[in-house]
Structure 1
């Protein structure tokens, strides 16, 4: 009989569909929000007539 081995951490994370769902929503949300803030910061001020 084989001794029981502990499942590796990365495999446990990848086997959790809820964690993958949350990461798939949160990572793009944060990255696109940060990208938008950077773009707004780099927009030159409008020239008023």
Structure 2
């Protein structure tokens, strides 16, 4: 699972989304409190694409 998290994190980084691989089986997201709804959904979409491309 750790390798999968690394792959997802790297793909997200390449697409401009900064996530942190924490522990063996988790990825942490930390958007700013002032994030717009549009930016939030865009980030979720990028993360979804990265997960789907990695499994």
Answer whether TM exceeds 0.5 for this pair: no
User: TM (normalized to structure 1)?
Assistant: 0.35
Higher share of residues assigned helix: 1
> Whose strand fraction is larger, Structure 1's or Structure 2's?
2
